Amino acid sequence: MAQIGRYRFLTIAVVFHLVYIYSIFSIYFVSPIVHGMREHQVENQEAPAKRLVLFVGDGLRADKAFQSFPDPRPVDPDSEEAKVPRPLAPFLRSRVLEHGTFGVSHTRVPTESRPGHVALIAGLYEDVSAVMTGWKLNPVNFDSVFNRSRHTWSWGSPDILPMFEHGAVPGRVYADTYGAEEEEFSKAKDAYHLDEWVFDKVKTLFAEAKTNATLDAELRKEQNVFFLHLLGLDTTGHTHRPYSWQYLHNIQIVDKGVQEITKLIEDFYDDGKTAFVFTADHGMSDWGSHGDGHPDNTRTPLIAWGSGVAAPVVNESGVAKGHEDQFSSDWGLDRVQRHDVSQADVAALMAYLVGVAFPTNSVGELPLSYLDTDLKSKAEALLVNAKEILEMYRVKEETKKSTELYYKPFSGLGDETHSVEYRVSRIQEAIDKGDADNAIRQSYELIQLGLQGLRYLQTYDWLFLRTLVTAGYIGWIVFAITTVVDLHVLGEASQTFRTVPSMIVFSSILVALYSVLFMQQSPSVYYAYAFFPVMFWEEVWARRSALIEGSKALFAHVTSKSEVLKLVLSTIGFFGLLEALVQSYFRREIYTVCYLLATAWPAFYGPDFMRENAATVSSWVLSCVLMSVFTTLPANKVEDLSLIMYGGALMFAVGVLYLLLEKSITANAKSSDDKAPVKALDTTSRSILGVQVGLVALAMIVTRSSVITLEARQSLGAGNIYVGWITLVTSLVLPLAYARQPDRHYLHRLVVIFLQFAPTFIILTISFEGLFYFAFCLCLFSWMHLEHSVYLHKTKPSKPAAVPMNPITPAAVAATDRLRSLEKGAYRALTLADTRIALFFIYLIQSAFFSASNIASVSSFSLDAVARLIPVFDPFSQGALLLLKLLVPFAALSASFGLLNRRIGVAPSALFMLVMALSDVLTLSFFFEVRDEGSWLEIGTGISHFVIAGLLGVFVAGLEMVSGWVVGGVEGGKQEKGLMNGKGTNGKMVNGKHNGKAK
């Protein structure tokens, strides 16, 4: 490969990181869906129920369903009766106490509506990436209880029902949905009307059956299923939070509706042969979101009653079984045994109750404690359940055998004495002998073996793929460091040693890998996983001289014991901060400690430095103290108009002060040795800046109006929405009007960027995020100035001295050379001290993510703010706005970093490339922490952390390009003049040997 230039390096970085981020979905989250299985159904016993009704309270937490609260919407709020706690779902509670079986259904991540309903109705856990393929249609068709029924009637959201209709036998599933515009996502409209719409539709259907003989005949057939999807709770929770009176009142609405539908259906059939199941697809966090593995999101209620369902098991003498975790201690149900299940088990339960075949893709275990039948029938049903799971194992194993070169079978089912056929015959023999308990025990063991076998096949390629990915990431890190050293330390002076034997070796490795992948019919993305490590390590080997020569140059000054000790301590501090960043993903408070420690950083350069840069040091200390506060605040924020306005007022004040004092500010920012006259202020530029300040004020006004309107539960007028959108869009595009005034002072450019995104952080904020934006920008500004001051301090010549022959080592001579070379338009070489700047940059990127609780949790996003612009539920549009808010701090970060590059005289891409090399130490750490089983919290956390860390490489590449545009044409003092005025683009390297053009 030819010498790696700047843009080629960035392209490789982006492609590599995007491909390798996807690797966790090739390794950990491969779709479990296969086809070609035979169906299995309990055939030698009558179905417990002739029909089944499934209620799903979308977004209903288990604790809220059973806890007691004062009446959330009393007729007389001041009455004593209204203040007395009472169960909000008395009918469902009566099913628990007198008629059926209850427990907690544990979901998996992502805790979203689509995967939750797939688990409930199909009995399978979709791979995590499936949620990104769409909300309605299926990436891979799967079997479900609805598809196995005679006919299914369903009512509810257009986001859920169509995927079961499209995946079933044509005409088998009837789906009646309301329009998407009904899902208004604002406080002005009660969402429980969505649930009432569903209940009304069910009542209409049965009312019509009284006059429609054909419909009546269809309804009275056996194996029919009725599905009521109740979205109101989810929408209300997002808008008002699950502890609000609106959410609690919605529980009352659902309970009343379930009671009415239960009575309606029982009266219609009057045969006592209907089974009812009430549950939820996922829970909801205290801040009104879901998606991750927090227990509030993964614990949902499960209540079953009716035909075929066991009566409650009551312990009159104390606490019944199932309550050992204390989660249900305040439900008042301690005497009733709690039967917890995994969410996929519900599909197996429903299939058995209504007498249909188990869905062929189901991994659910039939929960026998919910069944009202004898032990022999339970044993027979559980054996069929085991056969269905083992059928998937058979199909998957045959598929794996057909592609693997050397297949090693699963030991638990791999020989005659442990074969499926032998084990099934043993269980059947126990049933025939009347030893049901033994048969049930063996069936459970066989199910577990089947699931372990499926797990074995699912993870069969893990070792191979993990090795490739690890080699790829390590190869990338070494390759990136090699490129940085070659380009920005040695000035591309190193030689490339690529010999015929080395080319044969690396080519042979790649051909061997590709041959194995081809023979095993591996997915095409596997070829990319194999290509990158070979390419990176071949390039490193060919350019190993750059690492050797660069190491000599970078460490040439480390000659004394004190220098060695300083290097060792610096290295320990470097890796200590990286480890702190890893741990910060689990404990945000680490940022508080790091910011407070950072206040002492300027003191390391001595009292003279502190005195000479008193203003810069003071602003740095102040900004670090301010930033240390945010990670001590709770991640679950509630809407606070006062904090929103305080943040907006600070942003507005910055703009006004700069308008009033621009001339003196920019003049004071000039270096004392810059004798060029201060330019007159540009009227057009100041007018545009004044409009930006006005947009900040307008954003405050429209946001205040929208918040007050929604809090009053009034519909948000079109005026508020239009003005909000106009303000947001105009503020983002207005800086393009500066295109004809490119030669502006760097402070002016920073203020423009700060004001450009200020309205975004006002309109899309619910609490202290605006204050965070102000503090973060102040911290960036202080950091940029402080790093520049440190550089000048370290490179300031103390006295005239002879120039050593080695041009890289002495800092004093480097300063003199720099001043001369910058006038000629050249860049200086990187030094070890620049590693600190790169590490600071990585730290600030992480802080931008976590300090304002933007990604304190995957589900920490609040949709209150986006409801001011998009009141109707639209997950992708609302998600795009939240993503915009998330990315805003990076614009300020890229601008500050780009300006710092110029002010210390390094090449535009040098430090960005160094950051991309170092940041993947975090990525590789999180790669091995990703898991697809264990606690739901661990699964969600692992995915989130790896993706965030992996995207840093893409972020940095994007920031590097944004930075080049942002700081283009910016003026500086004389010490940066060669760079700031567009000179220095010829790629000359100070203290290096390169005199060619930049790559």
**Cα–Cα dist 89/96, whole Å:** 11
Mean pLDDT in residue range 303-331: 93
Strands 151-156 and 173-177 turn out to be: parallel
Q: Would you call 153 helix, strand, or coil by DSSP?
A: strand
Residue 155 host element (H or E) = strand 151-156
* 83 CB burial (10 A radius; 0-12, 13-18, 19+): exposed
Compute the Cα dihedral for 684, 690, 695, 698 and give only its sign: negative
16-43 as b/e, with b when 16 or more CB fall inside 10 Å?
Answer: bbebbbbbbbbbbbebbbbeebeebbbe
Q: Is the pLDDT of residue 681 over 60?
A: no
**What was the pLDDT predicted at 122?**
93
Which of the two residues, 729 and 888, has the higher pLDDT score?
729
Question: What is the DSSP secondary-structure string of 169-197?
Answer: STTSEEEEE--GGG-B-STTS-THHHHHH
For residue range 430-471, list pLDDT tens digits in order.
999 999 999 999 999 999 999 999 988 888 888 888 899 999
Least confidently predicted of 42-51, 457-466, 755-764, 956-965 = 956-965
d(CA 162, CA 159): 7
**Which residues is 153 bridged to in the sheet?**
174, 226
For 956, residues 6+ apart whose C-beta sits below 8 A from its C-beta are 13, 845, 912, 915, 916, 919
Mean pLDDT value of segment 141-153: 91
Spell out a b/e string for 870-903, using b for 16 or more CB atoms within 10 Å of the CB, else e: bbbbbeeebeebbeebbbbbbbbbbbbbbbbbbb
**Winning range, highest mean pLDDT, from 173-182, 282-291, 303-312:** 303-312
- Residues 6+ positions from 559 with CB-CB distance below 8 Å: none
Taking the alpha carbons at both ends of the chain, their separation in whole angstroms is: 14
Task: Report the C-alpha gap between 224 and 416 in whole angstroms.
Answer: 41
C-alpha span between 151 and 295 (Å, rounded): 35
Q: What are phi and psi of 923, to 5 degrees?
A: -60, -45
pLDDT of residue 857: 42
At CA 345, angle to CA 22 and CA 415, rounded to 5? 75
Classify 681 in phi/psi space as left (phi over 0), alpha (psi -120 to 50) or beta.
Answer: beta
> In the prediction, which pLDDT does 75 show?
80
Q: Give the Cα separation of 773 and 623 in Å (integer).
A: 11
**Mean of pLDDT values over 927-956:** 65
856-879: pLDDT as tens digits: 444 445 666 777 887 776 666 776
> Residues 135-154: what's their mean pLDDT?
79
Q: Which two tokens stand for residue 455?
A: 């797990």
pLDDT of res. 740: 57
Of 928, 982, 986, the C-alpha closest to 470 is 928
Q: What is the average per-residue pLDDT within 597-626?
A: 91
Q: What is the DSSP string of 64-100?
A: HHH-EE--SS-SSTTSTGGGS-EES-HHHHHIIIIIE
**Residue 993, burial from CB neighbour count under 10 angstroms (0-12, 13-18, 19+):** exposed
Bridge-based pairing state of the strands 100-106 and 299-306? antiparallel
Q: Which range is least confidently modeled, 263-277, 845-859, 913-927?
A: 845-859
What span, in angstroms and rounded, lies between the C-alpha atoms of 175 and 158? 9
List, in sequence order, every beta strand (DSSP E) within 280-414. 299-306, 341-342
Share of residues in the chain with pLDDT > 70 (%):
82
Q: How far apart are CA 292 and CA 287, in angstroms?
A: 13
User: Which distant-in-sequence residues (6+ apart) come within 8 Å of 740 by Cβ?
Assistant: 684
For the chain, what is the mean pLDDT?
82
Q: Which two tokens stand for residue 266?
A: 């029982």
**Has residue 39 got a pLDDT over 60?**
yes
Of 887, 952, 984, 969, nearest to 21 by C-alpha is: 952
Angle, CA of 780, 784 and 785, to the nearest 5°: 120
pTM comes to 0.69
Which amino acid is present at 535?
M
SS (HEC) of 935-997: CHHHHHHHHHHHHHHHHHHHHHHHHHHHHHHHCCCEECCHHHHHHHCCCCCCCEECCCCCCCC
H or E stretch including 735?
A: none
Contact 840, 598 (CB under 8 A): no
The owner of tokens 């990104």 is 132
- Split at pLDDT 50, 70, 90, the class of 972 is very low
C-alpha separations of 874 from 129, 332, 614, 700, 870 in Å: 19, 38, 51, 25, 8
Encoded tokens for 409: 């079978």
And the tokens for 495?
A: 């030689």
Q: How confident is the model at residue 823 (pLDDT cuts 50, 70, 90)?
A: very low
pLDDT band at residue 969, thresholds of 50, 70 and 90? low
Q: Which of 193-202, 409-418, 707-716 holds the top average pLDDT?
A: 193-202
Unique residue bearing structure tokens 């490179």: 795
Task: Kindly list the structural domains of the chain, giving each domain's residue range(s) and its CATH number in brackets, ordered by start.
Answer: 31-45+373-459 (no CATH), 47-372 (3.40.720.10)
> Where would I find the H helices in 404-491?
420-432, 436-458, 462-488
Mean pLDDT within 737-748: 65
Residue 974 in this model has a pLDDT that exceeds 50: no
In contact, 312 and 102? CB cutoff 8 Å: yes
- Average pLDDT on 897-920 reads 79
225's enclosing H/E stretch is strand 224-230
| CA–CA dist 184, 872 (Å, integer) | 4
* pLDDT value for 743: 46
pLDDT of residue 808: 40
Task: Give 344-375 pLDDT, tens digit per residue.
Answer: 999 999 999 999 999 998 999 999 999 999 99
Query: According to the model, what pLDDT value does residue 672 have?
Result: 38
* Cβ pair 776, 891 in contact under 8 A: no
At residue 962, the pLDDT reads 59
Q: Assign 513 a pLDDT band (cuts: 50, 70, 90).
A: very high
User: What's the pLDDT score for residue 863?
Assistant: 65
pLDDT at 824 over 60: no
pLDDT at position 534 is 94
Rounded to 5 degrees, φ, ψ at 56 are -120, 110
Q: How far apart, in whole angstroms, are the C-alpha atoms of residue 433 and residue 937?
A: 44
Q: Is the dihedral of CA 34, 35, 41, 47 positive or negative?
A: positive
At 213 the pLDDT is 95
User: Which residues, listed in sequence order, are joined to residue 301 by a DSSP beta bridge?
Assistant: 104
Asked if residue 508 has pLDDT above 90, the reply is yes
Is the pLDDT higher at 131 or at 834?
834
In the numeric block, which tokens belong to residue 577? 């901060």
